[in-house]
Amino acid sequence: MAESVELPSKLAILPFRNKVLLPGAIIFIRCTSSSSVKLVEQELWQKEEKGLIGILPVRDSSENVMVGSAMAQGGGTEPTERSPIILYASSDSHKLDEKNQEEFIHWHARGVAARALHMSRGVEKPSGRVTYMVFLEGLCRFSVQELNTRGTYYTAKIIPLQTTKAEIKLVEQDADFRALSLHFKSIAMELISVIEQKQKTFGRTKVLETVPLHKLADIFVASLEISFDEQLPMIDSVDLKVRLSKATELVERHLQSIRIAEKITQRVDGQLSKSQKEFLLQQQMKAINEELGDNDNDDEDDLATLENKMQNAGLPSNISKHAHRELRRLKKMQPQQPGYNSSRVYLELIADLPWKKASQELELDLKATKEMLDKDHYGLVMVKQRIIEYLAVRKLKPDARGPVLCFVGPPGVGKTSLASSIAAALGKKFLRISLGGVNDETDIRGHRRTYIGSMPGRLIDGLKRVAVSNPVVLLDEIDKTGSDVRGDPASALLEVLDPEQNKTFHDHYLNVPFDLSNVVFLAAANKAQPIPSPLLDRMEVIELPGYTAGEKLRIAIRHLIPRVLSQHGLSPDFLQIPEAVVKLVIERYTREAGVRNLERKLATLARAAAVKVAEQEQVVTLNHDIQQLPSPLIENTFSGGAEVGMEVLPMGIGNHGISSTFNMSSPLVADEEMLEKVLGPPIYVEEEASERVATPGVSVGLVWTPLGGEVQFVEAAAMVGKGELRLTGQLGDIIKESAQIALSWVRARAADLKLASTKEINLLHGRDIHIHFPRGATPKDGPSAGITLVTALVSLFSQRRVRADTAMTGEMTLRGLVLPVGGIKDKVWVCLTSLVFSHLP
Ligand code: ADP
């Protein structure tokens, strides 16, 4: 910033329309009019740094302003302070801008000399007009003595209005001035800090110490966004004290207006109550949703439907209160708010649960029920009898608290279908809840709603699905529940099954009691033994031990084949499966105690037959229909249009023709060849036991598996070694121990068994024993292989073959005691298979 400048007595004048340039201020201008371009070119561009011009404010002639007393017309007396010069432009009109012609220009009598800090010259295309961009810095005030024109622009004779250093020193000693300057500095400081806070930029207060006060006043006023009329008097304030007080007044006023604006904002903010803010936010959210294409109305409709549903759900009064409180909360929420969805899902559940809704119970007709059970299930005489007793007691005393029936047996023996028959007999809906793999109490009781992704337990969820409060519920695989750190599902089940407690069953998710006392509970398990004893106490176990091959054959012929055929849209007219073939399926393609796999295999045969039938249908249509038509007609038909296509069939043999052709074809009869084609090569081809035991060291055992009984061969071999025992075939610890016991027992009895001549002879001397259980991929365990192991070892050491027609099972103690065995019926079903088949007609 220039300290003091030597001003010439004459300056080219650039008029500033309604704008003021103050000393110390920097302004950017773009000159496009011919007069200003000429001025800049001649006075600044060509003179470079030495160039100075005068900036003189002019007021728009259209504005209605007071014209001062003194008028300078082309020269004359010096205008007094604040008085504009009015130039009657017509005097030199031929050279001036057209715009100024015939207009009075209200020149201000004082202006500010300026120099160019930076300039650039441009040429507009395609007109070729020259323009200038100039950064001007205001230097010092001057007053106009005489205004003239030079070519197309004005010039003026001027008197600089600079304050000398002496004058500055003098005024600085003035007490008033000092007080004024202190005041100015403080408000200037305040203004700076307000601006800095707004703009979050700091470090501008330095300017207050580095720039002299008289210049600061101009700079501050120049930086304020104030009107032309407010800034104009600053040019006229030549006296330092006047200038400072003027600047103080302007800065203070500006600061005041900033403070008022802030106060208003704060007051408005404060006046917006919480709900108003919420409203505003909701409106914004709505607008955003609309922009995104989400439709809020859907949610409103949904909530109305939900409320309606809740009202019709027959909620008990305390639960209704609870639910409506939750609904009120939900209505206040925005769909995007966390918790909205979970709250809604919760209320949906409450509205869907069958609080009062129940299916009407049928008057129990025991005779009809018995007939139905017989019709649906082959055999199971004792089981059916027990079911009838159970139902009879219910008929006489509907609220009888008898034990829960628990069907125990291998898969596919009809546990589920018996339970569903009971439901049908009672005229109730049937619900099966699988408890397999349930380790966690929350599976039964649900998760508390505080957890993310929480949901109700299986019972409440199931009841929601059946939508009645009195269904028959089968707790399937109740023996497969475990317990771990997450709680014991069995204790939750106890509450479910206890008539005293289940009136107010508490699900953590639902969090209000639900009455389960109208539900008829049944249970099913593969084994009774893993069921926790408190649970078992509440139940009456009904065993379904598995079917013999003969039973399976009867079940297949009477129940499974008719059902499978109808499920596939077939009848015996299309597919026939002779008994002998069913036998083959049972023997070669299934190995199970129940009939589930058998049903599946029969279904596979039915599917294959269905495909054949469908293919036959197509062949009929094409062969007879189209090919018999005379060829020109075909051409006409296909070129003719849409409805012609429909004519193709009737013109041939028609629908009647198809069905009769179809009926005429003989039914498909399943045979061994078809079995191999459809079901693949036989899965279970048992070598004859006699072949397997042809070498010494092999014995035949019977084992129980969850799928029923199986024949298990045990193979033993001896080889040169150090007397070690090796065991293979995926054996568990118990079976390994049985092998050790068996070997020890045989060694101890070596002489008695005539395996060695004297007691002193070590049977294992110089040899190792290897025992293998074939089907090495299936894990095996349990103590009942004991006797089979002993037999295999004795056979090995004595080199005598075992009988092929005898299988054995039983745990043996070290002293040679064979303990009682269980699951005999399951275990022997394999043997029965061959037996029964050999006696079947
Ligand atoms: P589980 O529940 O014991 O595993 P399911 O009840 O599901 O077995 O029975 C499997 C299939 O076998 C069902 O289609 C069922 O109707 C049929 N089934 C089982 N036992 C018999 C039976 N004694 N008579 C007729 N069909 C039976």
Q: Which of 626, 676, 688 is nearest to 651 (CA)?
A: 626
Query: What local confidence, expressed as pLDDT, does residue 451 receive?
Result: 78
For ligand 1, the distance from its centroid to the CA atom of residue 807, given in whole angstroms, is 29
Q: Which of 762, 774, 660, 765 is nearest to 714 (CA)?
A: 774
680 labelled ligand-binding: no
Give the Å distances, CA to CA, from 606 to 156, 572, 576, 599. 115, 11, 9, 10
Nearest ligand 1 atom to alpha carbon 376: 25
Asked if residue 572 has pLDDT above 70, the reply is yes
Query: Is there a catalytic annotation at residue 33?
Result: no
Going by the DSSP 8-state scheme, the letter that residue 174 receives in this structure is -
Query: What local confidence, expressed as pLDDT, does residue 625 receive?
Result: 37
538-566 core/surface letters (b: 16 or more CB in 10 A; e: else): bbeebebbbbbbbbbbbbbeebbbeebbe
Across residues 385-396, what is the average pLDDT?
A: 87
Tell me the pTM. 0.55
Specify which residues 716 forms β-bridges with: 771
415 labelled ligand-binding: yes
| pLDDT tens sequence across 145-189 | 988 888 888 899 999 988 888 888 888 888 888 888 888 988 888
> Among residues of the chain, what percentage have pLDDT more than 90?
18
Asked if residue 837 has pLDDT above 60, the reply is no
Lowest-confidence segment of 21-30, 184-193, 484-493, 495-504 by average pLDDT: 484-493
- Lookup: tokens for 305: 């439907």
- Lookup: tokens for 116: 């160019």
Asked if residue 694 has pLDDT above 90, the reply is no
Residue 23: cis peptide before it, omega within 30 degrees of 0? no
709 labelled ligand-binding: no
Take atom 25 of ligand 1 and give the residue whose Cα is closest: 377
- Classify 712 as helix, strand or coil: strand
Query: What local confidence, expressed as pLDDT, does residue 104 receive?
Result: 63
Give the Å distances, CA to CA, from 717 to 483, 720, 726, 762, 796. 43, 10, 10, 17, 7
Residues 35, 181, 738, 784: which is the catalytic one? 784
Residues 384, 429, 552, 827: which is the catalytic one? 827
Query: What local confidence, expressed as pLDDT, does residue 706 receive?
Result: 60
Binned at pLDDT 50, 70 and 90, residue 82 comes out as: very low
Asked if residue 495 has pLDDT above 70, the reply is yes
Query: Is there a catalytic annotation at residue 827?
Result: yes
For ligand 1, the distance from its centroid to the CA atom of residue 417, given in whole angstroms, is 6
Lowest-confidence segment of 85-99, 234-248, 388-402 by average pLDDT: 85-99
Q: What is the DSSP string of 315-337?
A: --HHHHHHHHHHHHHHHHS-TTS
Burial classification of residue 511, based on how many CB atoms lie within 10 Å of its CB (0-12 exposed, 13-18 middle, 19 or more buried): middle
Enclosing H/E stretch for 657:
helix 654-664
Query: What local confidence, expressed as pLDDT, does residue 795 receive?
Result: 93
Across residues 123-134, what is the average pLDDT?
A: 84
Q: Which of 576, 581, 544, 582 is nearest to 377 (CA)?
A: 544
Across residues 682-696, what is the average pLDDT?
A: 76
Query: What local confidence, expressed as pLDDT, does residue 833 receive?
Result: 45
Query: What local confidence, expressed as pLDDT, does residue 741 receive?
Result: 94
Location of structure tokens 């006392």: 517
Enclosing H/E stretch for 135:
strand 130-150
Nearest 5°: phi and psi at 163?
A: -95, 130
Nearest ligand 1 atom to alpha carbon 551: 23
Asked if residue 564 has pLDDT above 80, the reply is yes
487 labelled ligand-binding: no
Specify which residues 156 forms β-bridges with: 11, 147
Take atom 17 of ligand 1 and give the residue whose Cα is closest: 414
Alpha-carbon span 213 to 220, nearest angstrom: 10
Asked if residue 105 has pLDDT above 80, the reply is no
Lowest-confidence segment of 78-87, 124-133, 209-218 by average pLDDT: 78-87
Alpha-carbon span 559 to 224, nearest angstrom: 100
Binned at pLDDT 50, 70 and 90, residue 781 comes out as: confident
Across residues 55-72, what is the average pLDDT?
A: 54
Asked if residue 415 has pLDDT above 80, the reply is yes
74 labelled ligand-binding: no
Give the Å distances, CA to CA, from 519 to 354, 431, 434, 487. 12, 10, 16, 25
Take atom 10 of ligand 1 and give the residue whose Cα is closest: 412
Asked if residue 645 has pLDDT above 60, the reply is no
Q: Which of 162, 154, 160, 161 is nearest to 43 (CA)?
A: 154
Binned at pLDDT 50, 70 and 90, residue 838 comes out as: very low
Q: What is the DSSP string of 187-252?
A: HHHHHHHHHHHHHT---GGGHHHHS-HHHHHHHHHHHS---HHHHHHHHH--SHHHHHHHHHHHHH
Query: What local confidence, expressed as pLDDT, does residue 275 receive?
Result: 64
* Alpha helices per DSSP H over 704-823: 733-748, 786-798
Query: What local confidence, expressed as pLDDT, does residue 73 receive?
Result: 35
Amino acid at 610: A
- Dihedral of CA 352/357/362/366: which sign? positive
Looking at per-residue pLDDT, the higher value among 136 and 841 belongs to 136
Binned at pLDDT 50, 70 and 90, residue 670 comes out as: confident
For ligand 1, the distance from its centroid to the CA atom of residue 365, given in whole angstroms, is 23
Mutation probe of ligand 1 site: the residue of 418, 596, 598 with most atoms within 8 A of C-beta: 596
Binned at pLDDT 50, 70 and 90, residue 114 comes out as: very high
Strand 725-728 vs strand 698-705: parallel, antiparallel, or unpaired? unpaired
151 labelled ligand-binding: no
Query: What's the whole-number average pLDDT of the chain?
Result: 79
Return the C-alpha torsion angle 264, 269, 270, 274, nearest 10: 160
Binned at pLDDT 50, 70 and 90, residue 623 comes out as: very low
| pLDDT tens sequence across 273-307 | 666 777 777 777 777 766 666 555 666 677 888 88
Looking at per-residue pLDDT, the higher value among 718 and 362 belongs to 718
Asked if residue 91 has pLDDT above 70, the reply is no
Binned at pLDDT 50, 70 and 90, residue 718 comes out as: very high
> Among residues of the chain, what percentage have pLDDT more than 70?
81
Residues 6 or more apart whose CB falls under 8 angstroms from that of 79 comprise 68, 70, 72, 85, 109, 143, 144
Ligand 1 neighbours, Cβ below 6 Å, are 377-380, 411-417, 524, 555, 559, 594-596, 599
Query: What local confidence, expressed as pLDDT, does residue 657 receive?
Result: 32
Nearest ligand 1 atom to alpha carbon 380: 23
- Lookup: tokens for 547: 């079917």
Q: What is the DSSP string of 30-51?
A: EE-SHHHHHHIIIIIITTGGG-
| pLDDT tens sequence across 186-231 | 888 888 888 888 777 777 777 777 788 878 889 888 888 888 888 8
Answer whether 270's CB lies under 8 Å from 257's CB: no
| pLDDT tens sequence across 304-334 | 888 888 888 888 888 889 899 988 888 888 7
Alpha-carbon span 300 to 340, nearest angstrom: 13
Q: What is the DSSP string of 397-453?
A: -TT--PPEEEEE-STTSSHHHHHHHHHHHHT--EEEEE-TT---HHHHH---TTSTT
Mutation probe of ligand 1 site: the residue of 376, 380, 417, 432 with most atoms within 8 A of C-beta: 417
Asked if residue 687 has pLDDT above 50, the reply is yes
For ligand 1, the distance from its centroid to the CA atom of residue 532, given in whole angstroms, is 26
Residue 628: how many other CB atoms lie within 10 Å? 10
| pLDDT tens sequence across 248-276 | 999 888 888 888 888 777 766 666 666 67
Query: What local confidence, expressed as pLDDT, does residue 632 receive?
Result: 35
For ligand 1, the distance from its centroid to the CA atom of residue 374, given in whole angstroms, is 13
- Classify 647 as helix, strand or coil: helix
Query: What local confidence, expressed as pLDDT, does residue 273 receive?
Result: 63
